[in-house]
Chain A
Amino acid sequence: MSEQEDDIILSELDDNELVQQMYDDLYDGLKEEIEEAVEILLERGWAPYRILTEALVGGMTVVGNDFRDGILFVPEVLLAANAMKGGMFILKPLLAETGAPRVGKMVIGTVKGDIHDIGKNLVSMMMEGAGFEVVDLGINNAVETYLEALEAEKPDILGMSALLTTTMPYMKVVIDTMVEKQIRDDYIVLVGGAPLNEEFGKAIGADAYCRDAAVAVETAKEWVARKHNQMAAG
């Protein structure tokens, strides 16, 4: 199989074949091949946003579905994400120049006392792929950091992540502080992380718990559309 793959010359494939090949290469975590294919599509006049959505996000959706279904595991998803990141790196400056549609804006970060960011990074990347502007606060964020970012960035969504049972209650500290400052309803609050569940999300006053990056994107789109409809009606 590898011999056959070695023989594939990406530039000789037509657009459809190339996109299909990018799906395969993303699935196999082949970063250099993805970067090359992105360059080829750009040369052929594809708009950056089209490459992002049809080739990269399309391919990562397959990866996400197979992860959800237990066919792929964390290492394979990380390799695929790393390959997509290579493509995104090329596209990102071009997306800004070409005025790609913006679905909404999200501030995201891992909570205080927690250094885990694999899930958060996947969510950030998939949200960007779906047309959201993402401000990533990184790891170990205190409530003050979240509030400052909300004030400065004016996002639609606040996303919080935690991997530890000991750190996940901190999400409630952030939400309670937002309630106290009467800004809770100004934002959509989404939470995620391995030890969380829907019940926990509800209990702490989040709008939704997101099981994985794909669910986060769908939930974010749904809530942003709902928010815009409410604003239009109001």
Chain B
Amino acid sequence: MALDDDALTDHGLTAKGAGRILLLACGALARELIDLRDANGWDHMDLHCLPAILHNTPDRIPDAVRAAVEKHRAGYETILVVYADCGTGGMLQKACAELGVEMIEGPHCYSFFEGNAAFAAREEFTAFYLTDFLVRQFDAFVTKPLGLDHHPELREMYFAHYETLVYQAQTDDPELTKKAQICADRLGLRFERRFTGYGDLDPVLRAL
């Protein structure tokens, strides 16, 4: 299935309505989840993605997840919310507890891609993270919403205290690595590539 990153950013992905488990995920994780599902033959899993751009307005994530769970819950035995806290300040966890559904542990996808324990152990707070999806959609998630396309002088106000752009690579793709390096240059940050693969996503899905 061909996935359109712009569509995943703005609209998400609609479930097929087949399978007993629904993965209700951020659009930024669609490729990785489909890859894991297909590689393991997990045909009992269906995927529904919310627009990935919610990443930029995390206060809207809990209500969006709530609405989607309520809409889809009759059609599946289990719904797994494939979001970490993602900047909701515990509000997504609270919503999931009220809905009686599980979600992914950790503060962000950056954390579970690297493995929550390993990520926390780094105590790294001057790094700006990009995943494969965010590298591909850098303009939609960073350049345009921050106004850097029209006002590059704002870069200093946003990124003055950051030191490194860490590209967490889910796949080995030289083109993406090159693009991530360009993103780092544009933000004036040191570049580091870390191969993470799918991190904690694999064991979490495997346990379903």
A-to-B contact residues, CB < 8 Å: 73-76, 78-79, 82, 113-118, 139-140, 164-168, 194-197, 200
Contacts and interface: CB of A to CB of B under 8 A. Distances in A.
A79 B147 CA distance: 10
B123 A113 contact: yes
B151 interface: yes
Which are the 5 A-B pairs with shortest beta-carbon distances?
A75-B147, A195-B89, A115-B161, A165-B85, A166-B107
Contact of B154 (A79, A117, A195, A196): A79
A177 to B, nearest CB: 20
Contact of A75 (B151, B161, B162): B151
Contact of B157 (A78, A113, A140, A164): A78
Contact of B147 (A74, A117, A197): A74
B184 to A, nearest CB: 17
Contacts of B148: 75
A113 B107 CA distance: 14
Given A115-B125, A197-B91, 19 more contacts: A74-B147, A75-B147, A75-B151, A78-B157, A79-B147, A79-B151, A117-B161, A118-B157, A118-B158, A140-B125, A165-B85, A165-B88, A165-B89, A166-B107, A194-B89, A195-B87, A195-B88, A195-B90, A200-B89
Contacts of A139: 161
Contacts of A196: 89
Contacts of A75: 145-148, 150-151, 154
A176 B83 CA distance: 31
B14 interface: no
Nearest to B86: A165
A78 B147 CA distance: 10
B89 A197 contact: yes
Interface residues of B, number: 23
Contacts of A78: 147, 154, 157
A28 B100 CA distance: 47
A100 to B, nearest CB: 27
- The DSSP consensus for interface residues of chain A is loop
B37 to A, nearest CB: 28
Nearest to B91: A197
A165 B107 contact: yes
Contacts of A200: 89-90
Nearest to A112: B125
Contacts of A115: 125-126, 161-162
Contact of B107 (A82, A117, A164): A164
29 contacts: A73-B145, A74-B145, A75-B147, A75-B148, A75-B150, A75-B154, A76-B147, A78-B147, A79-B154, A113-B123, A113-B125, A115-B161, A115-B162, A117-B161, A118-B158, A139-B161, A164-B107, A165-B88, A165-B90, A167-B125, A168-B89, A194-B87, A195-B58, A195-B87, A195-B88, A195-B89, A196-B89, A197-B89, A200-B89
Nearest to B84: A165
